[in-house]
Homo-oligomer: A and B are copies of this chain.
Amino acid sequence: MDPTKKTIVVFSGDLDRLMAAFIIAVGAAAMGNEVTMFFTFWGLNALRRDNPPAVKKDFMSRMFGWMMPRGARKAKLSKLNMGGMGTAMMKRVMRNKNVASVDELIGQAQDLGVRLIACTMSMDVMGIKQEELIEGIELGGVASYLGSADEANVNLFI
């Protein structure tokens, strides 16, 4: 076990939970930790790029692709969303208070060497291809997660 390693499973795609996950990850990386984040289920959507290249998909994958938010900028609050009004209000307040957006936090995390790993099983089920994700994302499965978690001293599921 290494006291400078941390892992976070990012299961949720909610704006507020993504904020929490990245604030902890960026904070830990800035303090010299090796941080690994695993994006699974709805969390995977945070890594989708805005204008993905056209990829061949079956009908179900196309449906999931349409229904799920493409990128962190489309993420909504888990509470008080109120048809998008609460989310817009929260984002505006955060901008006014100089709190970084999730997109900015992803950039900071990558600059600080945080490893962002997309869960291959979730990609398969949701029909998301690697070229639809932002740059710099690794792919991995549950064994890869467990390998990292075994070496870390803080492991969170968000």
Residue of B28, B92, B125, B154 near A97 (CB, 8 A) is B125
Contacts A11-B17, A41-B20, A42-B16 hold; do A31 and B125 have CB atoms under 8 A apart? no
**Which listed segment binds B: A47-55, A107-115, A142-150?**
A142-150
B-side contacts of A92, CB under 8 Å? 60
Binary contact track A91-125/B, C-beta < 8 Å → 1, others 0 = 01110110100000000000000000000010011
Closest residue of B by beta carbon distance from A1:
B153
Distance in angstroms from A22 CB to nearest chain B CB is: 10
Given contacts A23-B121, A97-B124, A155-B155, 16 further A-B contacts (CB under 8 A): A3-B150, A20-B40, A20-B41, A23-B142, A24-B142, A27-B143, A27-B145, A42-B78, A64-B93, A90-B125, A93-B127, A149-B153, A149-B154, A150-B153, A150-B154, A157-B158
Q: Residues on A close to B: CB < 8 A? A: 1, 3, 9, 11, 13, 16-17, 19-20, 23-24, 27-28, 31, 33, 40-42, 60, 63-64, 67-68, 78-80, 86, 89-90, 92-94, 96-97, 99, 121, 124-125, 127, 142-143, 145-146, 149-150, 153-158
